[in-house]
């Protein structure tokens, strides 16, 4: 256990500036182009639903399971009071989770804890797998978890560093795009049961306020994450 812990907290050397910049451009391209976004958006959904699940547990709501669908949507099933702080915080956590996870991952990257970051992602995926209640969700988590495990076990340290950086930037950039998609759907009245609209029904604030808040946190996370990973500071 001592050897494993020493390996987990081992500090890697700082990446070259071109590696950080190239990883950011790669992640931005993945999020920007429609085809690559459709193929990878499910990873943001995993973080989104994971955020709902973690907050439900923290607020002592009964977590009944998570479903991930092939259209990249998802749902987290909880039971408890239909209103109150626990329900509000659970609904609030979804759209914030990818950006905040990306920010936490950026901090670990800044500290050189690449191995700890990769194994934290693996642990998160395993916990999600235990809560999944549909076959497609289990399959996508197994594939994603298998890829992360393969990188952690067989990839050289330099490759692990690049993969970690791309994932961090992808969470930061990918946390923003669904918020703009939500705004467009709400404008067309196609998202009456969105998290923002549920929050509007639970509180005295309109749904547009929550969309603005999601966007503010997302953009702030990108700025803070970029500052943390800036190789020139």
Sequence-separated (6 or more) residues with CB below 8 Å from residue 67: 74, 75, 77, 132, 133, 134, 137
| C-alpha torsion 27→29→32→38, nearest 10 | -80
- Average pLDDT along the chain, 233 residues, taken 10 residues at a time: 69 86 96 95 96 94 93 91 91 96 94 90 94 94 95 90 95 96 87 88 93 96 94 69
Give Dmax (Cα) for the chain: 56
Q: How many domains are contained in the chain?
A: 1
Residue 1 lies in a domain: no
Domain around 85: 23-229
> In the prediction, which pLDDT does 5 show?
67
Residue 130 lies in a domain: yes
Residue 14 lies in a domain: no
List C-alpha distances in Å: 191 to 182, 187, 194. 7, 9, 5
Residue 6 lies in a domain: no
> In the prediction, which pLDDT does 233 show?
65
């Amino acid at each position: 256990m001592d050897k494993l812990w020493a390996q987990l907290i081992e500090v890697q050397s700082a990446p070259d500036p071109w590696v950080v910049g190239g990883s950011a451009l790669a992640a931005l391209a993945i999020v920007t182009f429609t085809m690559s976004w459709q193929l990878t958006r499910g990873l943001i959904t995993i973080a989104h639903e994971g955020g709902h699940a973690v907050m439900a547990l923290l607020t002592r709501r009964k977590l009944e399971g998570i479903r991930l669908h092939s259209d990249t949507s998802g749902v987290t099933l909880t039971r408890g009071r239909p209103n109150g702080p626990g329900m509000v915080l659970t609904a609030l956590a979804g759209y914030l989770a990818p950006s905040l996870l990306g920010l936490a991952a950026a901090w670990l990257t800044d500290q050189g804890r690449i191995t700890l970051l990769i194994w934290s992602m693996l642990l998160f995926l395993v916990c999600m797998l235990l809560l999944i209640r549909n076959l497609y969700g289990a399959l996508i988590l197994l594939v994603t978890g298998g890829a992360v495990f393969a990188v952690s076990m067989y990839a050289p340290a330099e490759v692990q560093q690049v993969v970690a950086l791309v994932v961090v930037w992808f969470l930061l950039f990918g946390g923003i795009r669904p918020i703009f998609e939500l705004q467009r759907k709400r404008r067309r009245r196609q998202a009456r049961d969105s998290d923002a609209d549920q929050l509007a029904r639970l509180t005295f604030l309109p749904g547009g306020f929550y969309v603005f808040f999601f966007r503010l946190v997302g953009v702030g996370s990108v700025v803070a994450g970029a500052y943390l990973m800036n190789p020139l500071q």
